[in-house]
Amino acid sequence: MSAVRYFDDIPHIVRFGMHDEKDERCWILFWRNGTKFSISVDKEDVHGTTFYLIWRPLLREELQPGEKMIEHRQNQWHSLCDLIISHSMATLQRLAPDKAYWITLKDYLHSPGYALKLVTDRESNNVYAEVTEELEEEGAYEFQPLPAEAFRNMPKETRHYASSDLIVLEKETNWKAPPQKVCTSDGDICFFKACKRSSTDITTGEVINKTLDSIEVYLKLFKYSLGSGDPYITRRSTVFGIVTDTSARPSGSTSAGQKPPKHAAQTSQHDVGMTETLIAGILLSPILHSQTLANVMEQSESTTVDTIIEQSRRWKAQIEEEIALFHSAGIYWGGRDDWFYINQHTILIDAEGIASLDLDTATSNDGPMIEGLDTRGFTMDTEAVETLFEEWLPTEVSKRR
């Protein structure tokens, strides 16, 4: 549902939305000039207007003959967003005028917001947006700082950087993606890996936080490398610092998106409203540009078969070396019954032809060894490498003979 729609050269970054053809209603959530807007539209508020005649067909859910789902979603969704935003423009310009915004990471973590709905001016029969609620500040791109107690592998010797001191770079490159490149007050260029909101597994009801899990992997590898003196830490992106953010503790109930892990300390009632320092994420040292193994193979049509075979041997040896180190640190990938998490899409090849594993898909074992689960994860990693380099890659090579 993500989309970027421009009005007067201002990006309106649509993140979520919903439309219901049967009940004739919809809503969209987007950001404009650093401010979040949620706009809802209901039939009862706009029926009988020219807007309604244009809006109603855009709620269509069934595909027309010859229409592809991706075309249906993109074309219809973009038109729906444009229609709603354009009819809300007077209110949007008043609440979020054109100005400098999202300069520092703190700006991203503390963005204002408003809930709007479209209503009809019965005298002119025109549709416009009215404010229904002023929303609490929250992070853009689902950013959600967490208490330090939520992290099991937080190193003590790593430098902390306040979110207000980190200048965001190149945010205009891709408005659909959260900011990544930042500059410290010392002039160092780093990559920001954010803590984000938790989600609830619809099958198990379990609250999970994949970004926290991913950060734990980086922190654990960093601590392991320091403790063991392993030079591996100098060969890939590593933790440069911890990003902190000062925030008032929320009042009221806590949503699933804000829940810290079970092992984290809980906020007591008398602490509500007090300011606290939270962890917004980590800074990583500059990351070398790389492509997935799948992409490299797609682009290697001019490479000879013998060269690919020789490269694959080196890549396999490099990945096996990495896996041995990760396993010794209690980090593994594992997978499902029908899918290994180490595959052609999670092995990265950099500009120098060196293969490495995508840490974002790894798992850190931070508690006691779970009988069978961790062992199975380690075993699956070994099987994954064999499957990839002895079955998948030879099959790809055979297509070129």
- Class level of CATH domain 290-398: mainly alpha
pLDDT of res. 366: 67
How would you label 236-270 residue by residue, b for 16+ Cβ within 10 Å and e otherwise? Answer: bbbbbbbbbbbbeeeeeeeeeeebbbeebeeeeee
Helix, strand, or coil (residue 156): coil
The mean per-residue pLDDT over the stretch 187-201 comes to 93
Contact predicate 32/96, CB 8 Å: yes
CA-nearest of 105, 109, 111, 247 to 165 is 105
Query: Tens of pLDDT along 108-149?
Result: 999 999 999 999 998 999 999 999 999 999 999 999 999 999
The model's pTM is: 0.85
Instruction: DSSP letter for 264, please.
Output: S
Helix, strand, or coil (residue 385): helix
Asked if pLDDT for residue 176 goes beyond 90, the answer is: yes
Rounded percentage of the chain residues whose pLDDT exceeds 70: 89
Q: Is 33 left (phi over 0), alpha (psi -120 to 50) or beta?
A: left
Query: Tens of pLDDT along 57-72?
Result: 999 878 878 888 888 7
pLDDT of res. 44: 97
Contacts of 4 (CB under 8 A, 6+ apart): 11, 12, 13, 14, 175, 176
Query: Tens of pLDDT along 206-251?
Result: 888 999 999 999 999 888 887 776 655 556 678 999 999 997 655 4
Contact predicate 343/388, CB 8 Å: yes
pLDDT of res. 256: 42
Backbone angles phi, psi at 324, to 5 degrees: -60, -40
CA of 206: how far to CAs of 148, 218, 318, 372, in Å? 21, 23, 36, 21
Please report, for the chain, the start and end positions of each structural domain, with discontinuous segments joined by +.
Answer: 3-140, 143-284, 290-398
CA-nearest of 239, 223, 141 to 191 is 239
